[in-house]
Structure formats: C-alpha cells, structure tokens
Structure 1
C-alpha cells in the first residue's frame, strides 16, 4: 500500500470506538514483531487510568484500520508509559508501510522521541540496539540442549556459585508467582537504593510508576495481562526478585533487583534460569530480557530483537528543535562518544516522570553532577 489515502484520528483512551478496540488485538496478532506484552491493549488502558495525557492515534482508510499508536505528550510526544515501557512502536501489520511521522503529520505533535522502537523496516535510525530474548515453543529443556558452549559455561559457573552459597549460607529455594506484599516493598527498596548507588534517576520517585507495577501485580493469574513476581531465597535470606510483564505466553523480565551483599552468588542470573526451568508449568514460551545483551544476558540472546532510538521530527518549532538537537548530538558523538545520546535519553526519562520544569531541571542537574549519565 502507499502512504496516501488514509486519515488519522486521535482519541483519548476512555473513548475509543469499538472498531479500534476490536482491531487492536487482530493487528497485534498479525505481526510477529508485536509479541511483547507492552503492545497489549490492556497495558495502554492501565496507564491511561493513572495519568491524564494518554492519546491514541488511529490511521485508517476506507476499508480498515491500518495502524494504532498509543502515546503521551503534546508538542514533544513520547511512547506510552515511558520510561516504564521497554518496547514501543506502531501496532500494525508487517506490510503496513506507514511510519510514526506519517500518522502524526496532521496532529498537534511536533516531534516524537523514542528510545526502544521495535524495528519494522520503515525507520532509518543510526542508533540501534539488540535485545536479549529466548523463544522456546518446544519447551525449555529442548531450548537448553540446543545452546552453544557459551551457555554451557555460564550454567557451569551458576552451579559452582550455587554450591558455594549452599555451603556458606544455606540451601536455595524459589518462590514463583508470589503474592507477598513484603516482597514488593523490598523490590522497591532495593531498586531505589540501586538508583542511588549508580546515580541513575529514580523512576519510582513519582506515584504513577510504582502504582502501575502494583496494579498489574494485584491482578489474578487468569488476567490477560498481569505482572508475575518470582523470588530466590538463599537460606533464610531473600536474595533476588524478578517481576515480569506477561500476557500468559511471553514473560518480559521488567523490574529486577537483588541483595547486593549476595552479588557474588549471581542471584539474578540464578533466578532467571529457575524461571526458565519452571516456564513449562508457568505457561511461558518466551522470556524477554529487554534491550541490551551486556553481562549474563548475552548467554540468553538467541532471537533477533532490534530496536532504535532517536527523534521523529513532524512539524513546527518542536520538529526544528529536535532536528537541531539531533545534529548536535551526532556532532558531539565524534568527540564524546555516546555521552550526548545518554544525556538525551536521561532527559527523556526525567521528562516522562517529572511534570514541572523545576522538577526536570533539578533532576537533570543531579544527573550531570554525578557524571553517571
């Protein structure tokens, strides 16, 4: 199809026409790249219940709905749920042929910032990243038997660390799909402390982010979209917590934290591997670890997931400013590496959480001052 002959309407989440709510799951299921539960309509609906600036752009021609784009913001728009959303993009068929710029060209949006846009062949971003994802439709054991020597060595190291922790602290045990509220409190405590140690912005410093996680976690196991929480104990000590967004088939490891005093025992990697072992009982066919294949994640990155980050200039002063900043960032990369890009991503994260100019300024000053962008 061509980029002509369609129109875009923009709706609030609570007034979506029935035709859109009906088309959404059909478009998602038609496109293998939209496997992530972040593209589930309930994810957008849940966020819209917590914040008031969610809008949904819908492109359609005379015959059908072509694409759906949930987003937030006005002149400078951003993906739905940023910075909590690990993947984002157009909800459309693989051969849609439309871009975000096409869909928003006649809207009030001047520029759209994205940080992990799922590639569909219609974007030419120079800033791409690979994600770590495991797909095992034939079961976890079949997947493990097919892995390379790198994974084998990784497992050997985990077994060694497990024996060491068993000897020094006590036997390990796992708790799957925990509904223990104390674990959730500990997760927030650990994660906030991690942000403080690293100098990263505390995304849980605003109410809606923690409430989003809590609301999804409190849903029953039969819910079409929910958060599952799994934990590892070493002896009597809570060692690691892994909370993941799931639609029942895909488990996206979302907010993960562990006791730093137990770091030498690799509690996070051991918990992930236990989730993989238990996945047949849990109903998972895919584990997604998000963008990046650093540290132990490289041993699990067996499927191709490519995302991109950057700006889509659309119209007006916001588009011009985005283009100027993009050019400055590329120029700065020649001397400063990825520092300008990290600064942009950090500001986008802060802007998504902080509603006031003062709050954004203070958060950025702290980020620059600690030199850990």
Structure 2
C-alpha cells in the first residue's frame, strides 16, 4: 500500500476519474453512503480554492488508486475534514473490501489528529475515535415519487393533507405556482442567501453567509457542473416571485440538502415544505435514489423522512502532544453542545434565548440600515 498526498491542483485527471468511478459504483457494492456529493472530488477541490491547507491523500494498491481522503491541515499537524462545519458527509472513499490503518494514514498525511463531525458509516478503522453518532434523515425516492407520496400519506396523513392543501391555496391566492428544479439565474441564488442570512440572524444563529469563504464556495459550486456532480438550485415561484428556494449538491444518486430558506411573508403557506415535495418529485424523475436532509432533528425533517442514516463525530489521533492538546480544547465544547441539543429541557430554553437575541439583533440591524432618499 502506497500513500501519496497532493495539493488540489496536483491531482491528475486520471485520479479524479478513479475517485468519481468509486462513488458511481458505491451503491452496487453495498456502500451507498460513499456516493454523497460532499465526498466528491469536486467538493474537495472547490474548498481548496477558498481554504488553506486542503490536501488529498491517494492510497494505491498495485499502482492503482484504491482510496481517497480529502482533508485540511494546519502547520502544527491538526487535521480537519474538508469543509468542516459546512460538509455533511466525510470519510475515506474506497474500493470494495479495502481497509486501512488509521495511524499509518495519519502519519503519511503529516497529521497528529483528524477531526470529523459527519463521518459516514462503514469507516471501521476510524470507529475507535467516534465520540457520538447521530441520525441524518433521508427521503427515499428510488421507487418513484408516487411511491414516496403514498408512504408519506400513510406515515403522516395529517401533515400530508395540510401541506398539499396549503400548496393549492398558495396557487389560488397568488395566481399560479411554478417550480424550477435546476434554476440557473444567479439572482435567485442571491435571494436565497439573503433569506438564509436573515433567518440565521432572526433565530440567533451564526450567519454562515457573513463568512466570505462560504459565500464564495457556494457561488463557485453553483457554477460547477459535470456528468455526475452539480450545484443544484431549486426555486418555487408564486406569480413569478420566488417564495422558497434551496441550494444543495447533487451526485449521480444523491441530492444533499444544504441551504433551504423561504420568504417569511409567505410563511402561512409553508412554502419550504411545498418546495421539498417538489424537489422530491423532480429528483425521482432524474434518477436520484434519496435526498439527504442532513444531520439534526427538526420537525419538518421528521415529517418528510422515510428513514435515518447515521453520521458520527470525533477525532482520529496519534500519540502526539498536538493531538492531546487539540482534543482537550475541543471535547468539552462538543460535549456541552450535544448535551443541550439532545435534551429538550435544555434545548428549548436555549433556543428561545437565541431567538430573543436574534430579534434584538435584527431590530438593531433594521435601525442601522440606511434609508433610501
């Protein structure tokens, strides 16, 4: 087994092709989780344009690529999953039956520690470093949209009736709905990011689009299109006006949901839920197997999902003082966050506090905003 580490620009077209081929065949080999677009070469290379330290480890057997691990590395040897904080799937993309020694891989990558927060299933050599495992809801549409909708009616009859009734009412009240599954207008993407920023502020969360690298990354991925990967912007229009939108990433078989948002002026119609049903219908027609709604229990995800897959967080470490120091700093923060999120008696008051802070912050932003004359 030979391990080589490359900068993003050094990866050859042949290696990128081999990486993509492993993803394309993953479902045939019992590892559909490896087909997630966040595990694609396109995502890793895109992050490498806007973040320092992105590297790709290529493991070869008999001279042929057997596995790929994208990561980010600091000068001190602290490693992180590529796009940690915005990536919803992480791990080694590998051929069937391949296994690896975690310590040897880290040593070859020059890492004392590798941190992850969305490690996909099947990464057995990394399992000793897992500190927590969490559900990531998915919407299965491989049997067609009609089958999905029939199952939704059975699992959540009231939710389904209410959502479809709201869709009909929105159609009547606004003079007509139009859904675009693959919108190519950059203005629609700007609208989505504005909605999402306002939502982050309104709910007291950190605004991801206040970070230039995330905004630039999303814009870049919006324009990235290959036969087996694309940034996918979906928009629901009412009387020609966008009322809900979503930007995610698509591989050949998986649509990874990433940034959904809607116009609050239309909140009573639940346009975000309507949008997700339209996305499911179009994705099924495109041959997508499932929509990955992403880690985290939210009411709309619980209503729409057909099942959960699992992702994990933790650290893979070598015996090294840098690894000990990094884990000592990060572990208490993660443990506290997960304790709050997993316990309703802690999460609900914390969520209310964040929303109150968000209202104050949004109010100040409105006061400070210059008026047009």
| Same topology, TM > 0.5 | yes
Match of 2:90 among 80, 83, 88: 88
**Contact 1:50–1:212 under 8 Å retained in 2:** yes
- Which whole-Å CA distance do the structure 2 matches of 1:60 and 1:219 have between them? 28
How many matched pairs?
338
Q: Does 1:193 align with 2:198?
A: yes
- Which whole-Å CA distance do the structure 1 matches of 2:333 and 2:211 have between them? 29
2:116 matched to which residue of 1? 114
CA drift at 1:90: 0.9
1:73-127 deviations in whole A, cap 9, x for unaligned?
A: 2222111123332111111135333365441134432221111110215114241
**Contact 1:231–1:240 under 8 Å retained in 2:** yes
The alignment partner of 1:292 has SS state of coil
1:35-75 deviations in whole A, cap 9, x for unaligned?
A: 21112222222222333421012233456444211011222
CA drift at 1:276: 1.6
**Structure 2 segments unaligned to the other structure (5+ residues):** 343-353, 359-373
1:18-47 deviations in whole A, cap 9, x for unaligned?
A: 663353234332432202111222222222
- Which whole-Å CA distance do the structure 2 matches of 1:304 and 1:98 have between them? 27
1:342-361 deviations in whole A, cap 9, x for unaligned?
A: xxxxxxxxxxxxxxxxxxxx
Change (3 A) 1:173 1:70: same
**Contact 1:111–1:315 under 8 Å retained in 2:** no
Q: Tell me which moved more, 146-155 or 205-214.
A: 146-155
Change (3 A) 1:76 1:235: same
Q: Does 1:140 align with 2:145?
A: yes
**Structure 1 segments unaligned to the other structure (5+ residues):** 1-5, 342-366
Change (3 A) 1:238 1:18: closer
1:16 matched to which residue of 2? 11
- Which whole-Å CA distance do the structure 2 matches of 1:19 and 1:339 have between them? 46
1:59 matched to which residue of 2? 59
CA drift at 1:170: 4.3
Q: Does 1:288 align with 2:292?
A: yes
Higher helix residue share:
2
Change (3 A) 1:16 1:173: closer
The alignment partner of 1:127 has SS state of strand
Q: Does 1:242 align with 2:237?
A: no
2:212 matched to which residue of 1? 207
What TM-score, normalized to structure 2? 0.79
The alignment partner of 1:103 has SS state of helix
The alignment partner of 2:83 has SS state of coil
2:283 matched to which residue of 1? 279
Q: Tell me which moved more, 245-254 or 162-171.
A: 162-171
Across the aligned residues of Structure 1 and Structure 2, the Cα RMSD in angstroms comes to: 3.1
What TM-score, normalized to structure 1? 0.79
